[in-house]
Structure 1
């Protein structure tokens, strides 16, 4: 018997792809969406072979297409009967130091990571409010703890922004209406987004290990979780609270 239905955006690669595998192994039915449908089809075949009792629905979705976000979410809900959890995971990691002529890259990241996340949040919350239940999961980043420098300045700002969106819902006390909200702050977890710097980055963990920590926090419906807990709980506290000259040395 299914444990519920989870919709995951950006499911064709990286953290979204691995979350799909791990939630399927736990017995959840899945609604997976991304731009690269050939990769979604391959992932569905893989999951169906490993977990034949799990239903996996896939749809093409560019999260920057607002109308498509609302229609795809509604189509999944109609097809599967309910959406119990939405994981807003789709994201972009492009960026450059501000004022260096790459506004295009920074704007693309801002539009995908924040504006598109707003559309996904709106679409998910419409479904949850109508159902009277649901679990919204926002994938932020430890970089959201503080303003970051150079190439990740805009990325960090978008991740702080989406965390604030989700925190606003917590402040609204949507839990009283049957809706849980979780903000997940992943540390350095290997994925396609960071593969060029993975071998040079301290505290980087492999995708499976890092995502397992994410899945565990999501399953516990924690309101906020830095994952993996070590070293990111103490490092996250340091990033958020230490004087900027010290933060500059840490990052």
Structure 2
């Protein structure tokens, strides 16, 4: 069973950049209509023009939506209903993350991460899934993170949201067996996007070795290949895939021990305990969790 991508309508959150943008580029060759959702409307319009230049028969809808506000998500869904748009495939690609000690993080930022990474996918899936089940065809592609299967000091909230998405996706997949709705989770490792460069993630958490990093285009391609095969879980990149397979065999205590050096560096390293900017604080967008919200 394959998700109804070909000649279908696909909604992509986080489409303004990173993995979400690459998914849109690759899906444009197959879908009938793409609904591009993100907070930065101007970027979506540039992407729309690019997609139409190469795919003139493609239908493209641009929907500005700040996923951290559930009322805007409701407005997005109401807009689709008014325009008689029937979503065949939902791609939850938007995500936010901060690199910070938990007690130094502002509650507003924590709440924003939870809204984008947890509430928005739940709400979109809940509103769109029933019609998919009724039609006996549909697809849900959730872009998670390798952090969903391990412990990440400095990214406690981000990791927690991805652990949630992991449990939700796996459980939902079991519920939907036999309904015609395909559910796949993609859990990338280090992915080269603009966010890691602009935010300086490499300097803060250590740059991943080149043999482990992949491009956003490769990540999107392998994600869609796994989705087409109805795989439950996709780890893009051969090296990272094998690392995650080995990690799954490790006792929980070993995973804790692996994270301890990074935790100690974050807590006691002088360069990482400098005061945050009074207005912005410590703000890091993760390459593995494309923002675009």
What TM-score, normalized to structure 2?
0.76
1:125-167 C-alpha deviation (Å, 9 max, x unpaired): 23323433210111110111112112x1211111110121111
Q: Does 1:84 align with 2:69?
A: no
State the match for 1:239 in structure 2.
Answer: 247
1:24-63 C-alpha deviation (Å, 9 max, x unpaired): 1234421111111111111110000011121111111111
Residues 13-162 of structure 1 aligned to structure 2 (within 5 Å): 13-76=17-80, 79=83, 81-150=85-154, 152-162=155-165
Q: Distance in 1 between matches of 2:239 and 2:88?
A: 31
Aligned-residue offset at 1:241: 3.4
Compare relative contact order (CA 8 Å, sep 6+) and give the higher one, 1 or 2. Answer: 2
**Partner SS for 2:190:** coil
Q: Distance in 1 between matches of 2:137 and 2:107?
A: 40
Structure 1 residues 96 and 176, CA, compared in 2 at 3 Å: closer, same or farther? same
Structure 1 residues 127 and 75, CA, compared in 2 at 3 Å: closer, same or farther? farther
Q: Which has the larger displacement, 86-95 or 40-49?
A: 86-95
Q: Which has the larger displacement, 40-49 or 235-244?
A: 235-244
Q: Distance in 2 between matches of 1:44 and 1:24?
A: 10
State the match for 1:222 in structure 2.
Answer: 231
Q: Distance in 1 between matches of 2:108 and 2:86?
A: 38
Q: Distance in 1 between matches of 2:217 and 2:110?
A: 29
State the match for 2:208 in structure 1.
Answer: 201
Please state which structure has a larger fraction of its residues in helix.
Answer: 1
The structure with the largest alpha-carbon Rg is: 2
Structure 1 residues 135 and 248, CA, compared in 2 at 3 Å: closer, same or farther? same
Aligned-residue offset at 1:246: 5.0
Residues 162-181 of structure 1 aligned to structure 2 (within 5 Å): 162-172=165-175, 174-181=176-183
**Partner SS for 1:143:** helix
CA RMSD of superposed structures (Å): 2.3
In structure 2, stretches of 5+ residues that fail to align are 1-5, 263-293
Q: Is the 8 A contact 1:95 1:154 kept in 2?
A: no
Aligned-residue offset at 1:81: 4.5
In structure 1, stretches of 5+ residues that fail to align are none
Q: Is the 8 A contact 1:169 1:181 kept in 2?
A: yes
Structure 1 residues 185 and 28, CA, compared in 2 at 3 Å: closer, same or farther? farther
Q: Is the 8 A contact 2:39 2:65 kept in 1?
A: yes
Aligned-residue offset at 1:88: 0.6
Q: Distance in 1 between matches of 2:96 and 2:44?
A: 18
